[in-house]
Copies of this chain bind each other. A is one copy, B any other.
């Protein structure tokens, strides 16, 4: 099972945006993470389409979170970038072959599909309990309060001349 690599970048950008007191240009987020602007723009656009960030136009433009960090869950971000489709997709194998269950008798998902759905629900429930405010608080706990202060100062400073 594999998740889009973009999820990790989108989560890092979202946590960074909790520290910003003004819009952050995509290029600045790319510089901070030492990653291609084009690649990062794709993840930011996914967050934007999902209504998690919005792009502020103009000279001092950039990305901002659309709501409080405590109201954005890790699940929101995972689904924005990777989609909400479950990893397991039932192809109705029970309806195949010489002993096929007639389609009319398949009134509920098969036991295999139910087990996979229950696990998917558990996974989403877990991701839904953690907000990016929680992540930011844990970053501070892990690395100290200077981490976000330093980040905020870096984001406010003009970019280094190319």
Q: What CA separation (Å) do A33 and B135 show in the bound complex?
A: 46
Interface flag for A39 (CB, 8 Å): no
Report the minimum CB–CB distance from A65 to chain B (whole Å): 16
Please determine whether B99 and A8 come into contact, CB atoms closer than 8 angstroms: no
> A34-48 interface mask toward B, CB cutoff 8 Å, 1 = contact, 0 = none?
110000000000000
How many copies of this kind of chain does the complex include? 2
Interface flag for A114 (CB, 8 Å): yes
Assuming A118-B126, A120-B123, A150-B99, is B142 touching A110 (CB within 8 A)? Answer: yes
> A84-110 interface mask toward B, CB cutoff 8 Å, 1 = contact, 0 = none?
011111110110111111000100101
Report the minimum CB–CB distance from A97 to chain B (whole Å): 4
Assuming A87-B87, A115-B135, A123-B122, is B98 touching A154 (CB within 8 A)? Answer: yes
Which B residues are CB-close (under 8 A) to A143? 101, 105
* Residue in B93, B118, B130, B150 whose beta carbon sits within 8 Å of that of A9 in the complex: B93
Interface flag for A2 (CB, 8 Å): yes
Closest to A16 in B: B99
> A46-83 interface mask toward B, CB cutoff 8 Å, 1 = contact, 0 = none?
00000000000000000000000000001000000011
Closest 9 CB pairs of A and B: A111-B138, A119-B126, A34-B97, A123-B123, A122-B126, A3-B87, A34-B96, A1-B87, A122-B122
Binding site for B on A (CB under 8 A): 1-5, 7-9, 11-12, 15, 31-35, 74, 82-83, 85-91, 93-94, 96-101, 105, 108, 110-112, 114-116, 118-127, 130, 134-135, 138-139, 142-143, 150-151, 154
